[in-house]
Every structure is written in C-alpha cells, then in structure tokens.
Amino acid sequence: MPLSGTVVTRFAPSPSGPLHVGHLLAALQARRLADAHGGHCWLRVEDIDPRAQHPEYLELMYEDLCWLGLEFDGEVMVQTRRFGVYHEVLEQLRGMGLLYPCFCTRTEIKNQVAEMGRAPHATLGYLYPGTCRNLPPDVVAERLAAGAPHTWRLNMQRVQELIGCPTWHDMLRGTQRCVPTAYGDVVLARKDFPASYHLAVVVDDAAQGVTHVTRGADLFDSTHIHRALQGVLGLPVPQYCHHALLRDNAGKRLAKRDGARSIASLREAGFTPSQVLESLESALQRGGVWMV
C-alpha cells in the first residue's frame, strides 16, 4: 500500500525501566519512516500502568534520547495527564452497551480456561471465556453495591455484531482481517488502572493523528484488538509495521530485564552514540542478533 499524505509516526516507551536497545530500534524505525516522507514523529510516554510510573526512569529516558541525538516533534504526550479523556471514552463504550463488569480473579480465569481444555494464547495469555458476560442485572448491581473487586471488559460478541470483521494493513505482512471474538473480552479498565494499554493506545494514536504505527512483532495480535476498538469508536485506522525484535545469540528476545544492554549501561561502558547506532545497524544485518 503506497504512502500518501503527511506521514505521522510515534515512539511510545513505557518508563518502567531503563531505555534499552530494543527501545532504540523502535525509536529509529518511527523516526526514519517519518523523515523519509517529510512527516512528523511524536514522543508519547505510556505511563498509565502504575508499574511504569517511575520519575527516575523517565528522566533517564530523556537523558538517553538526548545523548543519542534522537529528537521528536511537538509536545510530549503523557498518558497520566489524560485520565479524563480515557474516562469519557469508557463512558461512551458503556453507553453503547459494550462494557460489562467482570468479578473473576486471574486464578479463576486460568482455571476456567484449563477446564475448557484451552491453552494460553501465544502472546495474549489466557483469553477470557466470558464468565461474567451474561450475569443477571440484579446480581451485577448487588456485587457492585457491595464493593466487589471487578474489571470492565469489552463485549467482543457485541463488537462483532456492530462492525463485523474489519481489515487493517501491515506494511510487511499485507492486509489482515480482524475477528473480534477471537481475542476474548479484553479488560479496558480496573480499579487501580483508569484505562488499559489497549484503550489508551488507540485513543492516543487518534489524538496525535498517527498515520503509521511502527512497533515490535510481539504486538501483532494486539493490533486486532486495537482495530476492533477503532471500529466501534469511529476512529481513523493507521497503517502498521510490526518489525522483528532484537535477540541475543541464543535467540532470546532482549527485554528490559537485560540491564547490561540498557542505553545507560552502554554509555557508562564508554560507547559513543555513533558506536551504539552502528552496533544496532550491525545487529539488523545479522537478522536482529545483538552481540554487544
């Protein structure tokens, strides 16, 4: 699918730990795609998860990006400043009859799925079997009045009735078809979590006018959920590019827990920005194998 119009991308890290080389790959993919087409690349801080609210890591992230010479356009969007926006969208979905409270614990869901003979989804984990979807209204009201712990889930059956099975385009894999019911009734909010990643990222991409989302292949399945949300909310649908992930020599994905590969640790070890970028380019030429 050819690119047309102004290309707008974004780099959206979660400051739950130091910036690492996997983040750098994502940042470069977004920045370079925008630059190649005279577009814009925004920076967004995805800190809506309480586990990602670490001011020290956020400050370190800004230091690392500055040291690397990576610049972004416009103002930085910070999710923890947008709780009101997410609340309005949740109310919209609730008004459409697409949300319902779920009182199941993670352990209960795991056991329910096991009893049904289903294995966990490769990237999304245990898909919710819909236990609380059709609870009688009086039971729901009684539990809510009693303050029972609960989450708010998206009724994918109703979503599919509304929008069918829409398509989306991946720049590497071509046209994809979203079947909402294949991904379970995902959580969109909980007591300590004003909005889930799925809801926040869809709302924020639309708010920032993002036309092209570049991110790791581990989020490919999540994009089907995002396409379903875009459909029911009437939001624009970006193009997507799910790039390969960096791996070590053993084929293991590089993640935040690999502290030795953080940008800060490379800087402290005496690497220059150009050396870090050259090492990343070399890794890409080796099929994503990082050897530093």
SS3 of the chain: the string is CCCCCCCEEEECCCCCCCCEHHHHHHHHHHHHHHHHCCCEEEEEECCCCHHHCCHHHHHHHHHHHHHHCCCCCCCCEEHHHCHHHHHHHHHHHHHCCCEEEECCCHHHHHHHHHHCCCCCECCCECCCCCCCCCCCHHHHHHHHHCCCCCEEEECHHHHHHHHCCCEEEECCCEEEECCHHHHCCCEEEECCECCCHHHHHHHHHHHCCCCEEEEEHHHHHHHHHHHHHHHHHCCCCCEEEEECCCECCCCCECCCCCHHHEHHHHHHCCCCHHHHHHHHHHHHHCCCECCC
Residue 42: CATH number of its domain: 3.40.50.620
Range of the domain at 58: 1-81+244-292
The letter for the amino acid at 236 is P
**Domains held by the chain: number:** 2
* Residue 19 CB neighbour total at 10 angstroms: 23
Query: How far is Cα 172 from Cα 178, in angstroms, rounded to an integer?
Result: 17
Say if residue 104 is in the same domain as residue 175: yes
Instruction: Between 4 and 174, name the one with better pLDDT.
Output: 174
- How do residues 20-44 score in pLDDT, each as one tens digit? 999 999 999 999 999 999 999 999 9
CA 167 to chain centre: 19
Say if residue 88 is in the same domain as residue 69: no
Point out the domain boundary residue: 145, 176, 205: 205
* pLDDT band per the 50, 70, 90 thresholds, residue 178: very high
Tokens of 289: 């194998």
Say if residue 186 is in the same domain as residue 260: no
Tokens of 9: 């991308």
Residue 227 scores a pLDDT above 60: yes
Q: What is the mean pLDDT of residues 113-136?
A: 81
Say if residue 74 is in the same domain as residue 89: no
Q: Which of 40-44, 117-121, 279-283 has the lowest mean pLDDT?
A: 117-121
Say if residue 200 is in the same domain as residue 119: yes
- Residue 196 falls inside a structural domain: yes
* pLDDT band per the 50, 70, 90 thresholds, residue 119: low
What is the per-residue pLDDT for 1?
46
* pLDDT band per the 50, 70, 90 thresholds, residue 51: confident
What is the per-residue pLDDT for 163?
98
- Residue 223 falls inside a structural domain: no
The percentage of residues in the chain with a pLDDT greater than 70, rounded to a whole number, is: 94
Question: Are 261 and 271 within 8 A, CB to CB?
Answer: no
Residue 203, phi then psi, degrees to nearest 5: -65, -40
- Residue pointed to by tokens 């999304």: 124
Say if residue 94 is in the same domain as residue 3: no
Point out the domain boundary residue: 151, 177, 205: 205
Instruction: Between 10 and 110, name the one with better pLDDT.
Output: 10
- Residue 114 falls inside a structural domain: yes
Say if residue 35 is in the same domain as residue 118: no
Q: What is the mean pLDDT of residues 184-209?
A: 94
Say if residue 75 is in the same domain as residue 171: no
- Calculate the average pLDDT of the chain: 91
- Residue 128 falls inside a structural domain: yes
- How do residues 258-267 score in pLDDT, each as one tens digit? 555 899 999 9
Residue 158 scores a pLDDT above 50: yes
- Residue 254 falls inside a structural domain: yes
Predicted model pTM: 0.91
Question: Are 262 and 18 within 8 A, CB to CB?
Answer: yes
What is the per-residue pLDDT for 260?
52
Q: What is the mean pLDDT of residues 143-150?
A: 95
Say if residue 182 is in the same domain as residue 74: no
Residue 146: CATH number of its domain: 3.90.800.10
